[in-house]
């Protein structure tokens, strides 16, 4: 079930919004769970896991693993007949040390659990090494470049700046150094708290048993644990027909290294990654102007759905298009699939064949300098040994219930086995992965906990930023029709906010979707300066079940951007007699 804008963005490309027929046969991961990952489409994963040869080819069949004679002393705690051991090496073993695994590990030691984490590559996973962290470093630079290059803006502030420039390698180093720093922080935090970091590729041998070692099938070490969390994350999803060479046809894994800033790049997919990289490329891109004053394009979006940014609230999406797309050197093709993309070779440019998303008729062929494939992410779950616990994956995602308990092929929870983060596909965001991990630890230490995914915020770090929590307006209206309640919408503008105007950044709105009968907050969407920071008042309110009639009495410092949200809650028209608990309980997804 897609429960929020963030969720619909996260799984949309790889799972639900794109007709499956476009992704059959060649790309094995998302829709043919039993087949191995096609490494050609996995960008840096091949390099990242060098040392373990290939991802699934080398995973031995379960029967082979079981027949290994393993001499590890750790085996003393395994019972001879293959059934669950009576005592365990650890209370908790986590497979995958990304942000999800890290969040779970830290919370587990806080709760007094003896904890180990198994990592097959580098600590920090996607977010730290190939995702949130380096991308935000690039966006920090693009934001400053954009501001410094905006003469009108500078003049309005009374500032004079000589031509702004940048050193590409310096920017790339900033991103890489930040990733290294955060990775070290994560590693040190786990070591300091006594989490055992076990190096190797983990797989499940059966209830309570995990093997870790090389991917080449040689016998690994076995550890036992009372509870096991799978937190193996995701890799870039590349539709079939698209050939990634890592130089001219790239995924985010490559783009984050900023080895080049192409003059003209096609970005396939206008979700989070596409949008954030369009911000980077248009701020760092060339300023070529030819003799007839024709400004060259820097970015061409290719989007399968009918509008750009299909995962956002439509009204916010329209405003974002007016500010983030139209005035920049960006054009776009919507309602088309990129079916074949061929890297540049022998002086020929990258070619992109487009077909109409509905009729499947050929539509156009583009020739560009480079193409970034930003069509979603695929779960990284091959070779995990899930068959040993009778689990069938769903397009590669590990099926879980609302408590992140892994479900077997009959739909029943597998005792003591959980899956968090991108690998379960509920909400492909770093903080969601971590929150799910904490939720699991709460449960295994005796406190039942269901995470309300509708309270998890999401943000796109463009300039200005976009943020959201809860339902979009169409989602809220659909729910209201089904459940029979009224929906109201309130809006405030950044144009009326003193702090935003002082910064000369008055472009933006905040939108509240709510129930006028009881004051329940259904969704909040913000487009404007520091939207990513502003969303938390709303997400905390949803998480705690706070109603508008209560939160509107809260006091905000003046002058701050937070007053945009204060105004938003104050402008909502909740019925005078609204009282009592929020009528509809938070929905866990």
| 239 contacts 22 by C-beta, under 8 angstroms | yes
| Environment class of 482 (CB within 10 Å of its CB; exposed 0-12, middle 13-18, buried 19+) | exposed
Q: Is 274 annotated as a binding residue?
A: yes
Specify the residue for token string 């920049």.
328
Indicate which of ligand NAD, ligand FAD, none lies near residue 492 (CB less than 5 to 8 Å, by partner kind).
none
**Binding track, positions 245-264, relative to ligand FAD; x by CB under 6 A:** -------x------------
Q: Which two tokens stand for residue 575?
A: 């019925």
Q: Is 552:517 a contact under the CB 8 Å cutoff? A: no
Cα end-to-end distance, the chain, whole Å? 7
**Residue 429 in the binding site for ligand NAD (CB under 6 A):** yes
- Residue 43 contacts which entry, ligand FAD, ligand NAD, none (Cβ below 5-8 A, type-dependent): none
Task: Annotate each residue in 422-461 with x if it binds ligand FAD (CB under 6 A) or - if it does not, as one string.
Answer: xx----xxxx-x---------------------------x
**Considering the complex, what minimum distance in angstroms separates the CB of residue 132 from ligand FAD?**
4
Give the range of 30-38, 362-370, 457-465, 581-589 binding ligand NAD by CB under 6 A: 457-465
Strand partners, 345: 348
User: Closest CB to ligand NAD among 60 and 271?
Assistant: 271
φ and ψ at residue 458, rounded to 5 degrees: -140, 155
- For position 567 contacting ligand FAD by CB under 6 A, the verdict is no
Q: Extract the tokens encoding 251.
A: 């995924």
CA 267, 270, 275, 276 torsion-angle sign: negative
Q: Which of residues 61-100 bind ligand FAD (CB under 6 A)?
A: 95-100
From CA 230, how far away is CA 202, in angstroms rounded? 9
- As given in the structure block, the two tokens for residue 326 are 């139209």
* Number of residues lying near ligand NAD (CB under 6 A): 33
Task: Select from 337, 138, 354, 342 the least CA-distant residue to 249.
Answer: 342
The tokens describing 42, both together, are 């996995």
- The values of phi and psi at residue 422, to 5°, are -55, -30
**Closest residue to ligand NAD using C-beta atoms:** 271
Asked if 134 interacts with ligand NAD (CB under 6 A), we say no
99 binds, among ligand NAD, ligand FAD, none (CB under 5 to 8 A by kind): ligand FAD
Residue 461: count of CB within 10 angstroms of its CB: 22
One residue of 103, 220, 271, 464 binding ligand NAD per CB under 6 A: 271
Please indicate if the annotation marks 484 as binding a ligand: no
Spatial distance between the Cα atoms of 549 and 572, rounded to a whole number of angstroms: 9
**Window of 112-120, 329-337, 392-400, 542-550 that interacts with ligand FAD by CB under 6 A:** 112-120
* Residue numbers 367-426 binding ligand FAD by CB under 6 A: 380, 384, 421-423
Q: Taking CB within 5 to 8 Å according to partner kind, which of ligand FAD, ligand NAD, none is near residue 239? A: ligand NAD
Structure-block tokens of residue 354:
């487009």
Residues 284-303 that bind ligand NAD (CB under 6 A): 302-303
Q: Which does 380 bind (CB under 5 to 8 A by kind): ligand NAD, ligand FAD, none?
A: ligand FAD
115 within 8 A of 90, measured Cβ to Cβ: yes
How many Å apart are CA 209 and CA 189, to the nearest integer?
26
Give yes or no for residue 202 binding ligand FAD (CB under 6 A).
Answer: yes
Out of 272, 332, 380, 397, the only residue in the binding site for ligand NAD (CB under 6 A) is 272
The yes-or-no answer on residue 390 being catalytic is: no
Does the CA dihedral 416-422-425-430 come out positive or negative? positive
CA quadruple 387, 392, 398, 400: dihedral positive or negative?
Answer: negative
Q: Is residue 101 marked as binding? A: no
Binding of ligand NAD by 541 (CB under 6 A): no
To the nearest whole angstrom, how small is the minimum distance from the Cβ of residue 332 to ligand NAD? 11
Return the number of the residue (17 or 32) whose C-beta is nearest ligand NAD. 17
CA distance 577 to 547: 13
303 assigned binding-site residue: yes
Residue of 5, 37, 127, 280 interacting with ligand FAD (CB under 6 A):
127
**Chain centre to alpha carbon of residue 346:** 36
Does residue 117 bind ligand FAD (CB under 6 A)?
A: no
The DSSP secondary structure of 275-328, one letter per residue, reads: HHHHHHHHHHS---B-TT-PBPPSEEEEESSSSSSTTS-HHHHHHHIIIIITTT
- Report the residue number, 428 or 444, with the smaller CB distance to ligand FAD: 428
Positive or negative, the CA dihedral 221, 195, 589, 424 is negative
Residue 470 binds which one of ligand NAD, ligand FAD, none, with CB within 5 to 8 A depending on kind? Answer: none
Residue in 212, 167, 183, 226 with CA at minimum distance from that of residue 444: 226
Q: Does residue number 231 form part of the binding site for ligand FAD (CB under 6 A)?
A: yes
When asked if residue 279 is in the footprint of ligand NAD (CB under 6 A), the reply is: no
| Residue whose tokens read 């497979």 | 95
Catalytically active residues are 558
- The binding site for ligand NAD (CB under 6 A) comprises 9-10, 12-13, 17-18, 239, 268-274, 276, 302-305, 310-311, 337-338, 374-377, 428-429, 458-461
- The binding site for ligand FAD (CB under 6 A) comprises 95-101, 118-121, 125-127, 130-132, 135, 201-202, 231-234, 252, 273, 380, 384, 421-423, 428-431, 433, 461
Output the known binding site: 136, 202, 232-234, 269-276, 303, 376, 422, 428-431
Output the known binding site for NAD(+): 269-276, 303, 376
């Amino acid at each position: 079930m897609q429960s929020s804008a963030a969720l619909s963005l996260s799984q949309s490309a790889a799972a639900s919004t794109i007709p499956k027929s476009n992704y059959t046969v060649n790309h094995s991961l998302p829709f043919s769970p039993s087949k191995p990952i096609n490494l050609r489409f996995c960008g840096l994963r091949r390099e990242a896991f060098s040392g373990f040869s290939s991802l699934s080819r080398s995973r031995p069949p379960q029967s082979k693993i079981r027949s290994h004679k393993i001499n590890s002393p750790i085996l003393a705690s395994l019972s001879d007949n293959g059934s669950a051991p009576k005592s365990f090496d650890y209370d908790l073993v986590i497979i995958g040390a990304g942000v999800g695994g890290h969040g779970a590990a830290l919370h587990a030691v806080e709760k007094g659990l003896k904890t180990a984490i198994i990592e097959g590559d580098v600590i920090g996973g996607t977010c730290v090494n190939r995702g949130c962290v380096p991308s935000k470093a690039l966006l920090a630079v693009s934001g400053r470049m954009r501001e410094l290059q905006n003469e009108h803006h500078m003049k309005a502030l009374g500032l004079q700046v000589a031509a702004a420039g940048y050193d590409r390698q310096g920017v790339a180093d900033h991103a890489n150094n930040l990733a290294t720093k955060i990775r070290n922080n994560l590693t040190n935090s786990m070591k300091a708290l006594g989490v055992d970091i076990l190096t190797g590729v983990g797989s499940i041998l059966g209830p309570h048993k995990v093997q870790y070692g090389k991917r080449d099938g040689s016998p690994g070490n076995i550890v036992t644990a009372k509870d096991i969390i799978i937190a193996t994350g995701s890799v870039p999803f590349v539709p079939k027909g698209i050939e990634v060479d890592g130089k001219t046809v790239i995924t985010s894994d490559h783009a984050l290294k900023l080895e080049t800033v192409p003059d003209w790049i096609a970005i396939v997919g206008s979700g989070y990654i596409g949008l954030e990289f369009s911000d980077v490329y248009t701020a760092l891109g060339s300023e070529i102007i030819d003799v007839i004053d024709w400004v060259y394009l820097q970015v061409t979006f290719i989007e399968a759905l009918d509008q750009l940014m299909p995962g956002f609230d439509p009204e916010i999406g329209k405003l974002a298009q007016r500010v983030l797309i139209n005035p920049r050197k960006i054009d776009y093709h919507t309602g088309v699939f990129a079916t074949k993309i061929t890297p540049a070779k022998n002086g020929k440019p990258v070619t992109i064949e487009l077909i109409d998303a509905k009729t499947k008729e050929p539509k156009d062929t583009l020739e560009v300098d480079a193409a970034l494939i930003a069509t979603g992410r695929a779960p990284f779950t091959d070779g995990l040994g899930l068959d040993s616990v009778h689990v069938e994956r769903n397009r590669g995602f590990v099926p879980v219930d609302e408590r992140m308990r892994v479900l077997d092929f009959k739909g029943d929870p597998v005792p003591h086995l959980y899956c968090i983060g991108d690998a379960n596909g509920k909400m492909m965001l770093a903080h969601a992965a971590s929150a799910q991990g904490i939720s699991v630890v709460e449960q295994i230490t005796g406190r039942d906990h269901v995470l309300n995914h509708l309270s998890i915020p999401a943000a796109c770090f463009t300039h200005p930023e976009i943020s959201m929590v809860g339902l979009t307006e169409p989602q809220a209206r659909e729910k209201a029709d089904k459940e029979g309640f009224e929906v109201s919408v309130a809006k405030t503008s950044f144009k009326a906010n003193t702090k935003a105007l002082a910064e000369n950044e008055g472009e933006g709105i905040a939108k509240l979707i709510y129930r006028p009968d009881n004051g329940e907050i259904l969704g909040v969407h913000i487009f404007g300066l520091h939207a990513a920071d502003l969303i938390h008042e709303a997400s905390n309110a949803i998480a705690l079940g706070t109603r508008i009639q209560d939160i509107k009495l809260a006091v905000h410092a003046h002058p701050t951007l937070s007053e945009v949200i204060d105004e938003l809650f104050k402008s909502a028209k909740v019925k005078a007699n609204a009282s009592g608990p929020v009528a509809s309980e938070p929905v866990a997804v």
